[in-house]
Amino acid sequence: MSERQKDVFLEPGRVTFRRGLPGDDLMLGDIDGSFATDTIFEVLPSANGFTLNEKSVSSPIVKKFPLSEDTDVEDAEESARFIAVDADGTPCGFIDVVFEAWNRRVIIADLELSPPYRRRGLGRELVGLAANYGRELNARTLWLEVTNINAPAIRAYLRMGFKFCGLDISLYRGTASEGEVAVFMSQDLPD
């Protein structure tokens, strides 16, 4: 069994990680991927670009995402899903990744954790599984997009070694996320 197919234990008997299976979509729909924050990463124009500054907001922001729409994960040539499952067999988190062969990049298309399982290392473990998947495919980098108002996720990605690599001030125009800024982050995958 390859590394990306075997179960990995974070807390013995508490949470296991496995490769996604057909039919998992129905179970994963119950994961609450919303977030609450009292800070955002404000995007400020500068002389030759933009600056990101973490700042407090006057009232906490709570964002609930709509039910997942079909992503390119199912249609991608190389894609994977890894799932965190609690001791009762209930999914408590997952990560969807897509490999782009032309630039050898693994895109984190979605990462969601149920609120009781946040800040316990599950996200780091799921990102680690994505990185291992990328190394198996000879990927050179992990890449993701996150909204500037999701400060908890941005801080977590920074702690995991991701760096800011770009932004798009118009990506969310005409969507429910109008006014937010797409922040792109990446992490090199050394051999």
Q: How far apart are CA 137 and CA 146, in angstroms?
A: 24
Q: How far apart are CA 162 and CA 151, in angstroms?
A: 14
Residue 162 lies in a domain: no
Confidence of residue 150 (pLDDT cuts 50, 70, 90): very high
* Digit-coded pLDDT (tens) for 93-127: 999 999 999 999 999 999 999 988 888 899 999 99
Residue 185 lies in a domain: no
Q: Are 83 and 16 in contact (CB under 8 A)?
A: no
Which domain does 22 fall in, by range? 8-140
pLDDT (0 to 100) of residue 7 = 41
Residue 167 lies in a domain: no
Domain count, the chain: 1
Which helix (H) or strand (E) covers residue 151, if one does?
A: helix 151-159
Confidence of residue 146 (pLDDT cuts 50, 70, 90): very high
pLDDT (0 to 100) of residue 24 = 82
For residue 117, the domain's CATH number is 3.40.630.30
pLDDT (0 to 100) of residue 88 = 82
* E-strand stretches of the chain: 8-11, 15-19, 35-46, 49-63, 78-86, 91-100, 105-113, 141-147, 163-168, 182-188
Residue 181 lies in a domain: no
Residue 49 lies in a domain: yes
Three-state SS for 38-80 is: EEEEEEEEECCEEEEEEEEEEEEEEECCCCCCCCCCCCCCEEE
pLDDT (0 to 100) of residue 13 = 56
Residue whose token pair is 């990446």: 186
Residue 48 lies in a domain: yes
For residues 22 and 168, which has the higher predicted lDDT (pLDDT)?
168
Residue 39 lies in a domain: yes
